[in-house]
Amino acid sequence: MVGMRNVGVEGSDADWVLAHEALSRLARQRAAADAEEGRCLLAAQRAAAHVHLGFGSFFEYAERLFGFRPRSTHEKLRVAEALERLPALASALEEGRLNWSATRELTRVAVPETESSWLQFAAGKSLRQLEDLVAGKRPGDTPADAPDPSAHRHVLRFEVTAETFALLREALAELRRRSDSSLNDDAALREMARCVLVGSRNEGRSSYQIALTLCPQCASAHQTANGQLVPVGPEVVAKAQCDAQHLPALEHDARADSSAHVDTRAKQEVPPALRRAVMQRDHHRCRVPACKNAIFLDVHHLRLRTEGGKHEADNLIAVCSAHHSALHHGQLRSEGTADAVRFVHADGSAYGQPRQPRVIEVQTKVFSGLCQLGFRERDVRTVMAGLRQRPELREAAPEQWVRAALRQLHPPAPSYR
């Protein structure tokens, strides 16, 4: 390194010192540049720069001019928007005390009330350690809060040929056309999996089966995945209970008479004859307006089983898997009876009408978070319906919604282990 030797440091010892100092300086400069790049990218999106320059979308604009992949652009925008509400994290990134990758992970969970604790906790942690610590946490959680395994997002990565890649994109596009709605990656892959797992065509029974194991003491649930037990949230259990079969618990008892008869038959909650009648009444297709899905349908209870909903034709409708999940995740709500059912988005707008994406995202997160805390879905829906009438909450952050909801919700019943 010509011209980069320190006085008092001999030979090659000077090289590593200078190299380290140069890398540290570049890292600080890169962090500041990343912070500025995020702010400028967000400003360009808000000003619709791509429209003025003739691009079809903002993601195309970012990819063609700056080489950002759509997923990278999405993350940069998400982080930049989050940093507007997190001044401590924004300052740490600009000053180079935190790199962009670490900032990206912390903005998934930090809120104004917890950002200082997360920033302090991140000191000295590697990116892998931060990823492991953030996994299973929700916005508003502190580093000391116990992780929720069902909140962990799993990443699938495949290396395939060009032909397989093209076929996969066509298959995903076809699934989205069938549902006539914008399925995200999670919903689209779930529909594709159902196509593979399809079993009996007998409409008296579900077209495919998954196995859920429920703990009677703590109400936790695990789904069987090729020999592995994967933790899932209460909304998955609620969805499964709409159209479930129950297997008897087999407990080994050495004192039991081995000749005693044990009934191992599965008991289906919705009688097969009633399920077939519901499918026939709904013309073998999803009841959500304009949805074209006519295969792999579920039976959904308009009044949930946990709220006392019965297995009656007036309380049952046919829905596709994507819309069934949306109903139990709080993204959609159903109102009325099977003869006159009405669907509305999380923000209260009628299904198919112009929506407020940010409002829907906030209310969906709040709904899911309150259910995870143990509050009954019926109570959460009722409270949130009242909160939607309050003008000051229309543009409020998720934590403000949670605080407002908690003031009206009764504490959930404790679980005894």
Judgement on whether residues 174 and 321 belong to the same structural domain of the protein: yes
Please indicate, yes or no, whether residues 170 and 304 belong to a single structural domain of this protein. Answer: yes
Same domain, 234 and 377: no
Dihedral over alpha carbons 276, 279, 284, 286 (to 10 degrees): -150
Host H or E run for residue 340: none
Residue 117 has pLDDT above 80, yes or no: yes
pLDDT range class, residue 7, cuts 50, 70, 90: very low
Q: Can you tell me which residue has the tokens 């009633």?
A: 274
Please indicate, yes or no, whether residues 370 and 337 belong to a single structural domain of this protein.
no
For 49-86, letters b (16+ CB in 10 Å) and e give bbeeeebeebbebbbeeeebeeeebebbbebbbbbeeb
Query: How many alpha carbons fall within 13 Å on the CB side of residue 13?
Result: 6
Domain boundary among 116, 147, 178: 147
- Considering the domain boundaries, does residue 377 fall inside one? yes
In a domain, residue 153? The reply is no
pLDDT in tens, 336-379: 888 888 888 776 777 766 556 667 778 778 887 887 777 877 78
Helix (H, G, I), strand (E, B) or coil at 72: helix
Please give the structure tokens belonging to residue 171.
């298959």
pLDDT tens readout for residues 277-318 = 998 898 888 888 877 777 778 888 888 776 777 888 889 999
287 in a structural domain: yes
80 and 213 share one domain:
no
Structural domain includes residue 253: no
| Shared domain check, 320 and 240 | yes
Q: Residue 181: what pLDDT? A: 55
Residue at a domain's end among 292, 319, 345 = 345
Q: Tell me whether residue 350 is in a domain.
A: no
Last residue of a domain, one of 82, 113, 147: 147
φ/ψ of 82, rounded to 5, equals -65, -40
Q: Does a structural domain hold residue 411?
A: no
Residues 214 and 333 both lie in one domain: yes
Q: In the predicted model, is pLDDT for residue 417 greater than 50?
A: no
Count CB-CB contacts under 10 A for residue 137.
21
- Put residue 312 in one of left, alpha, beta given phi > 0 → left and psi -120 to 50 → alpha: beta
Question: What phi-psi label fits residue 279: left (phi over 0), alpha (psi between -120 and 50 degrees) or beta?
Answer: alpha
Residue 251, pLDDT score: 56
Whether residue 5 is predicted with pLDDT greater than 50 in this model: the reply is no
Residues 169 and 206 in one domain: yes
Give yes or no: residues 382 and 330 share one domain. no
- Residue at 417 is within a domain: no
The total number of structural domains in the chain stands at 3
Instruction: Render pLDDT for 177-211 as a digit per residue (tens, 0 to 9).
Output: 766 555 677 777 877 777 776 655 566 666 666 77
Structural domain contains residue 7 = no
Same domain for 186 and 113, yes or no, is: no
> Which SS3 state, helix, strand or coil, does residue 205 take?
coil
pLDDT tens-digit map of 54-80: 888 888 899 999 999 888 998 999 999
Q: What's residue 253's pLDDT?
A: 47
What's the pTM value of the predicted model, to 2 decimals?
Answer: 0.47
Q: Are 31 and 100 in contact (CB under 8 A)?
A: yes
Buried-exposed string 307-341: b where 16+ CB fall within 10 A, e elsewhere: eebebeeebbbbbbbbbbbbbbbbbbbbeeebeeb
Residues 124 and 96 in one domain: yes
The answer on 390 and 313 residing in a single domain is no
Which residue range is the domain that position 294 belongs to? 162-245+268-345
